[in-house]
Amino acid sequence: MKSALLDIPVEIVETILESAFGWLVVVDKAGKIIYINKNYCDFLEVEREKVIGVHVSKVIENSRMHIVAATGKEEVADLQYIKGNYMIANRIPIIMDGQVVGAFGTVFFRDTREWMKMNSHVKSMLTKIQSYIQDIDRSVKYSLDDLLGTSKEIERLKDRVKMIASSDISVLIRGESGTGKELFAHSIHQSPA
């Protein structure tokens, strides 16, 4: 079976590898660098020709690429300290015919400021979502008055709700679907302490 990749000119593949990933390094099974893109070389202040064939740990500070190449276990979104800053790196084993033949690594966020900016944006969105959830929660409130029924069992359950509501304990409410578990949960939260 012929791969479609074989039909792509080498220059196009090299251009993709040079620019699609901010920083990219590829090591063989022994942890020796077989490819590193220009962006990564520029950051590390090394010449590509001089680091090809060198063990990755001698070129990239705190590298774990050789470990991933040896174990075949990927490491995704892992913090790595390089040149005075924490970065977020992905390290993926390269598997061919069921055997690990090396690994490739990319830097997802070139410094933690980029990560923190995205993280801040995500937290902001979560805060907005949380406020919407709280608005919904505020609109749906049940109290003991909403629990209909006058049987001894219902009255006993209402007494338990009053007792539980005044304490600081966790409560598990069990029962079949449609039996009013949510009504009791709201009643516990709405009851005066």
Query: Domain 9-113 is classified in which CATH homologous superfamily?
Result: PAS domain (3.30.450.20)
Single-letter amino acid code for the residue at 14: E
- At how many degrees (to 10) do helices 152-165 and 181-190 cross? 40
Contact between 5 and 13 under an 8 Å Cβ cutoff? The reply is yes
- The per-residue pLDDT for 51 is 97
Distances (CA, A) of 56 to 51, 73, 89, 156: 8, 17, 14, 70
Domain boundaries, the chain: 9-113, 140-193
- Pairwise CA distance, residues 110 & 58, whole Å: 20
pLDDT per residue as tens digits for the range 31-67: 999 999 998 998 899 999 999 999 999 999 999 999 9
As a whole-number percent, the residues of the chain with pLDDT over 70 amount to: 85
As a whole-number percent, the residues of the chain with pLDDT over 90 amount to: 35
Tokens of 60: 């990239």
- The per-residue pLDDT for 151 is 87
Q: Which pTM was predicted?
A: 0.56
Tokens of 91: 């390290």
- The per-residue pLDDT for 176 is 87
Contact between 63 and 23 under an 8 Å Cβ cutoff? The reply is no
- The per-residue pLDDT for 66 is 97
* β-sheet with 85-96: strand ranges across: 33-36, 24-28, 99-109, 85-96, 75-82
- Pairwise CA distance, residues 61 & 81, whole Å: 7
- The per-residue pLDDT for 84 is 80
- Is 191 or 24 the better-scoring residue by pLDDT? 24
- The per-residue pLDDT for 36 is 95
pLDDT per residue as tens digits for the range 79-110: 888 888 778 889 999 999 999 999 999 986 65
Write the Ramachandran bin of 98: left for phi over 0, alpha for psi from -120 to 50, otherwise beta.
left
pLDDT per residue as tens digits for the range 13-32: 788 888 776 789 999 999 99
- The per-residue pLDDT for 19 is 78
- The per-residue pLDDT for 64 is 96
- The per-residue pLDDT for 111 is 55
